[in-house]
Structure 1
Amino acid sequence: MIRHTVVFTLRHAEGSLKEKSFLRDAQVLGDIPGVSGFEQFRQVNPRTDYRFGFSMEFADRAAYEGYNAHPRHLSFVRERWAHEVERFMEIDTEPV
């Protein structure tokens, strides 16, 4: 199992329609074959300035790589993520 987590800050004003649109439209990522447990979350830790996060799981490396190469993922990254995300950090983990 691989867990993919990304935390990020959008360029949009907090609570704006553009922010809500981005989060709503990002839900398509959870429908990509191989993705399970897709979640969106809002940061509550005052010691970090990342505002949101996504988390999802993959059964194995093949599912993870399939997601990364999937046209829906590539399109979202190209058309939305690259223009609307100010900064981010991602981490991909597997159980030890």
Structure 2
Amino acid sequence: MIRHTVVFTLKHAAGSPEEQAFLGDALILERIPGVEKFERLRQVSPKADFDFGFSMEFADQAAYRSYNDHPDHVAFVRDRWVPEVLRFQEIDYVAL
């Protein structure tokens, strides 16, 4: 299993319609074959300076690769992520 996570801050004002649209449109990612346990998260720790997170799991490397190459993921990254995300940190985990 691979747990793919990303924390990020948007360019949009907090609570803005643009912020809500981005978070809503991100739900397309959970419909991509191979995505399991998709979550959209609000970051609340005072120790981190990102606002949101996405977390999802994949059964194996092949499922993760298929997700990365899927046209819906590629389009979301190109059309929404790149223009709207100010900064981010991506971390992928496997069990020890």
Give TM-score scaled by structure 2 length. 0.99
Task: Report how far residue 47 of structure 1 moved.
Answer: 1.7
Q: C-alpha separation between the residues in 1 aligned to 2:46 and 2:22? A: 23
RMSD value, Cα: 0.4
Question: 1:23-53, CA deviations, whole angstroms, 9 ceiling, x for partnerless residues?
Answer: 0000000000000000000011012110000
The alignment status of 1:24 with 2:17, answered yes or no, reads no
Q: C-alpha separation between the residues in 2 aligned to 1:48 and 1:68? A: 26
Aligned to 2:44: 44
Give TM-score scaled by structure 1 length. 0.99
Q: C-alpha separation between the residues in 2 aligned to 1:4 and 1:48? A: 18
Question: 1:44-68, CA deviations, whole angstroms, 9 ceiling, x for partnerless residues?
Answer: 1012110000000000110000000
Q: Runs of 5+ in structure 1 lacking a partner? A: none
Aligned to 1:91: 91
The alignment status of 1:74 with 2:90, answered yes or no, reads no
Aligned residues: 96
Identity among equivalent pairs (%): 62
Aligned to 2:3: 3
Aligned to 1:33: 33
Q: C-alpha separation between the residues in 1 aligned to 2:79 and 2:72? A: 10
Task: Report how far residue 4 of structure 1 moved.
Answer: 0.1
